[in-house]
Structure 1
């Protein structure tokens, strides 16, 4: 298990916020507005919320767009804290925002995700416990703009890993005692996989409310991001060999693939083509969002 050196300090850190929503953003001016609006549209079951946006090495107006929403957050009695993080890197931004968060539960949210109005309240409810908990919403891939991404997403969402729930791509949350499972975020590719595997399947919960996660558009971008994802999984297996035992989800069998091929042959071929392209050159070891 990862270091827990600061766990007791984090449990005692108190503030007015029930939930801290942490967003690491770099050059997200085209997406951050809808993300923040979906937070403002949450129902009252969310309770007091603080939003911490870590704008890291941005060369666009991400911070300026976000700041325009501050009056709306203040009108609701919530806070929006925008951090200017000069160093690039998602992990660096996560650590900067996490270090100032005061909520009893922490929600880590991608800047291009939109939320259903009930999701923060449902996450709050399942995280209000004295035992370690990891939670996420029901993932829904946002409508794709390109033919290839539409078919890839159609196939991907039917895979056992996704159907099994608690995927956590783009949104995951932990309570304070769960946050004690690790110290700072390590400098790795797949922070979301790392955190999810710090919890056993019985400690992970998927709430019914949905969050809408966009998949990258086009064949080349799908290959690029899939390479990064595969590299992230290999990295975790290498650095933290005990964590994959917490996966608790079935792998893809030949019978699964055959069944899906019969149901959606075109989507199967698109997904397989991306998979083959990744295997032809799998040397990507850095972070990439594909857009």
Structure 2
């Protein structure tokens, strides 16, 4: 591709074989992106077939330009930096390797962020039904958490203009890069798009607890290191009432969700866990 694309999608990927293929396939099957698009898969420290699977998707790229970087060391911060160094678009999107976008979403991002000022956007999160019963129950309640129904959550997928990305330098070595990026924008600067994307929940009790620990630790870390950013969080009126109504409708799901949260708080997060 010689023409500079409008949209650059950066996908950090660590051992994402079996997931990176469907992720790329959904991008390539989407609506045409005004101004063109590229995707940069940044495999980092992979010990599986992530790189081969990503490169095999080249034949389905259609109007997209696909680049696959193979970094020897794991680390999301390094992957983000490497992807940004290669990205040419005026709009930068950051996508988890296990997320599946709907056909209109990338085109909608390119249209909404075709502007010179700092701006941020994401689509509407949907959580597909997990395979295991415990995760299905957790997901049933999790879908109703006010975080998903106010403002622009941006979990698993977010995009911004170059002017927005210029608000900070290197990505900090923190747990929750998506929360950090979202809070670098005020609520009026964040744009919610109706196009959907699928953001999965991990399977099994132990995995749910590990991920919940990491999520809680990530938010607490940002509040501690960047307290001023917390003023940019979205107000969530009626949050308790919504959760109470959901608990009354689905008491077993509420009990599973509450128990995962409680156990996750008993010990701090250690190491990496998939971000769901």
Which TM bucket (shorter chain)? over 0.9
Which of 237, 255, 265 aligns to 1:279? It is: 265
- d(CA) in 2 for partners of 1:222 and 1:56? 24
1:51 aligns with 2:36: no
CA drift at 1:37? 0.5
Please state whether the residue corresponding to 2:86 is helix, strand or coil.
coil
CA drift at 1:160? 1.4
Aligned to 2:156: 170
5+ residue gaps, structure 2, are none
1:126-165 correspondence runs (5 A):
126-165=112-151
- d(CA) in 1 for partners of 2:172 and 2:237? 26
What's the Cα RMSD here?
1.8
Which of 82, 90, 107 aligns to 1:104? It is: 90
Aligned to 1:231: 217
Please state whether the residue corresponding to 1:234 is helix, strand or coil.
helix
CA drift at 1:15? 6.1
1:36-75 correspondence runs (5 A):
36-73=24-61
Normalised TM-score (structure 2)? 0.95
Runs of 4+ residues over 4 Å off in structure 1: 251-254
Aligned to 2:232: 246
Q: Contact 1:47–1:121 at 8 Å: present in 2 too?
A: no
Normalised TM-score (structure 1)? 0.90
- d(CA) in 1 for partners of 2:58 and 2:102? 20
Aligned to 1:3: none
5+ residue gaps, structure 1, are 1-13
Q: What is the CA deviation profile of residues 201-250 of structure 1, one whole-angstrom value per residue up to 9, with x for unaligned ones?
A: 11111111100111101111111000001111111011111001100232
Count of residue pairs the alignment pairs up: 275
